[in-house]
Amino acid sequence: MSGSTLHTIMVPVRGDGKGPVLFAHAATLARRFGAHVKVVHCHPKAEDMMPFGVVIPSFLRKQIEEATKKNADTTEDIVYEKYTADAAKHGISEQDPELNKPTTKFYEYEGKQADAVRHYGRLSDLICVAKPSKEEDLGFNTLKSALFSSGRPVLVCPNTDDVAPDLGRHVAIAWNGSLEASRAVRMAMPLIETAKAVTILTGGKSDHAATADDLKDYLAQRGVTSKIEEFSGQGNVGRLLLKKCSEIGADLMVMGAYNDSYERESLLGGNSATIVAEAAIPVVMVH
């Protein structure tokens, strides 16, 4: 019996060109659930642009402040223009939230994007973030803030605005019985309950943890029919999960993320870090 839904989806944007990608994913889900998309544009504070540990003359400080404001205004105009075009393209009404109607609104935030995620994300049902770029060293702090500071599920979106209207048609759940995986299942339940197919991916039993069969029974009590697929092999588990998703035709994966510390997994190429870097499908992550 389906009883879960999404009411609010947060999309943090800035002048990096990722806005249309994120909005396309958010809009697809907003239309399905009648949700409100909060597009939050972030621009830096003037003090964030000041050289650290350097005494700056007042005239130079004023110049930096004026240049920062001018740049922020210009970027905001560009981002907002793209936003309104995306809202029209995807058929999402620009207005205040209205129950059971796909709507969107543009919000301005002065400060770091990671702080904006904490501010708006904690009262959102889903946060859409772009896949971080190692080449540009961009997006890692936003992802980390969304996962560790919001307490909400995070949809890591692949770099495309060509999103199928039935996104989440086949949901794969990466299950190892961990606390993070359990949270992910509960928080992603709106997507799981509305999927046409649900597959539980398991690498085998874990000591003192709920099994894949236990999860199948739990989902059945919520009216969700699922099947279990085991995966095995040598190497990174994240890579094996992605391979299995491709084999079964899943178009969305749900998983617990960063069971180890974010820094350690990122540095050593842990399972979560591998999926963030290599996934070609959207992934809902929960820490």
Return the residue matching tokens 């307490």. 151
Token digits of residue 81: 């223009």
Token digits of residue 197: 């197919």
State the DSSP H helix or E strand holding residue 276, giving kind and residue range, or none if neither. helix 271-278
Among residues 226, 179, 178, 231, which one has the least CA distance to residue 202?
A: 231
Cα–Cα distance, 115 to 111 (Å, whole number): 7
Task: Say if residues 27 and 96 touch (Cβ distance below 8 Å).
Answer: no
Token digits of residue 82: 């793209």
Q: Whole-prediction pTM value? A: 0.89
pLDDT higher than 50, residue 52: yes
Among residues 233, 118, 250, 91, which one has the least CA distance to residue 173?
A: 250
Residue 3 has a pLDDT of: 60
pLDDT higher than 90, residue 188: yes
Q: What is the mean pLDDT of residues 119-129?
A: 97
The C-alpha angle 247, 158, 227, rounded to 5 degrees, equals: 35
Cα–Cα distance, 192 to 202 (Å, whole number): 17
pLDDT higher than 90, residue 29: yes
pLDDT higher than 70, residue 64: no
Q: Which residue ranges form the domains of the chain, and what is each CATH number? A: 8-157 (3.40.50.620), 170-286 (3.40.50.620)
Token digits of residue 124: 């959102």
Residue 267 has a pLDDT of: 46
Phi, psi (rounded to 5 degrees) for 90: -95, 5
Length of the chain: 287
pLDDT higher than 90, residue 280: yes
Cα–Cα distance, 125 to 27 (Å, whole number): 14
pLDDT higher than 80, residue 65: no
Residues 6+ apart with CB under 8 A from 71: 43
Q: Could you read off the pLDDT of 246-274 as tens digits, one per residue? A: 999 999 999 999 876 555 555 445 789 89
Neighbours of 158 (CB within 10 A): 15
Burial 207-242 (b: 16+ CB within 10 A, else e): eeebbbeebbeebeeeebebeebebeeeebbbbbbb
What are the residue ranges of helices labelled H in 34-112?
58-89
Integer CA distances (angstroms), 132 to 38, 143, 161, in order: 20, 8, 16
